[in-house]
Amino acid sequence: MSKRIEVNDLNVYYSDFLAVEGVSITIEPRTVTAFIGPSGCGKSTFLRTLNRMHEVIPGAHVKGEVLIDGNNLYDPGVDPVLVRRQVGMVFQRANPFPTMSIRDNVLAGLKLNNRRLSKADGDDLVEKGLRGANLWNEVKDRLSLPGGGLSGGQQQRLCIARAITVSPDVLLMDEPCSALDPISTLAIEDLITELKEDYTIVIVTHNMQQASRVSDRTAFFNIAGTGKPGKLIEYNDTTSIFGSPTMKETEDYVSGRFG
């Protein structure tokens, strides 16, 4: 479980457009890393390169390396489906299958991965996933009802349950709390703190307090102007990024003097 991510000089393209340039970063296991920076600087784009979700967009490609425990995800012959099982993703907008039952939503990632499951094994996995996502008590009596019938915060946790049920090593989360109220947000943050015992976690957030609360390390990305590539400006312990950043750009951003 929980693996080390090492990115070496990664350039990320949409066809000819260089969206993110020259990122090198090492992310240690059992840590939470926050990606922050202004809209359009490439946080989501870069995040999606860490599990090869970027290339599902026609023309999208990368140059450089992403190593997970030393193995380059982009080596020829690496199966992107296996990569995505190892590196799970939770999106900004909770995206359960709305008409599918809560139970089947939890198992959906496994079924897509073509695993045959007995009813008893399925039941165990559903309970484990929902407990892991801190949702079990709220839904255990309505597992056969549609996932779309849950609240936004519950749907987000259902997606987390779905992501962890395939037993990934790394969990990527793109603004998982942006559509949630403060109580659901705190519930997800508590969950992230629990999950880091087992996973390497990367979270994109626009919420500085959230980055301070949940992350060990913070990466600040910025963009010089429209049409220019986003770049990693500074990467350090979260307390340093918010307390004593090295770069003026970082300081301006975290202190709200941006733009």
Ligand X SMILES: Nc1ncnc2c1ncn2[C@@H]1O[C@H](COP(=O)(O)OP(=O)(O)OP(=O)(O)O)[C@@H](O)[C@H]1O
User: What is the contact surface with Mg ion in residues (CB under 5 A)?
Assistant: 44
- Give yes or no for residue 148 binding ligand X (CB under 6 A): no
Q: Are 252 and 67 in contact (CB under 8 A)?
A: no
Q: Which is nearer to ligand X, 43 or 231 (CB)?
A: 43
- Is residue 91 a contact residue for ligand X (CB under 6 A)? no
The Cα 198–Cα 217 span in angstroms is 17
b or e along 92-131 (b: 16 or more beta carbons within 10 Å of the residue's beta carbon)? eebebeeeebbbbbbbbbbeeeeeeeeeeebeebbbbbbe
Residue 105, contacted partner among ligand X, Mg ion, none, CB below 5-8 A by kind? none
Q: From residue 71, how far is each of 59, 68, 89, 171, 201 by CA, in Å? A: 24, 5, 19, 17, 18
Q: Residue 41 CB, nearest distance to ligand X (Å)?
A: 4
Task: Check binding of 19 to ligand X (CB under 6 A).
Answer: yes
The window from 33-41, 72-80, 110-118, 235-243 that contacts ligand X (CB under 6 A) reads 33-41
Which strand (E) or helix (H) includes residue 34? strand 32-36
Task: Output the smallest distance, CB 230 to Mg ion, in A.
Answer: 11
| 210 binds ligand X per the rule CB under 6 A | no
Q: To the nearest whole angstrom, how small is the minimum distance from the Cβ of residue 108 to Mg ion?
A: 24
Question: Contact positions toward ligand X, by CB under 6 A?
Answer: 14, 19, 39-45, 57, 230
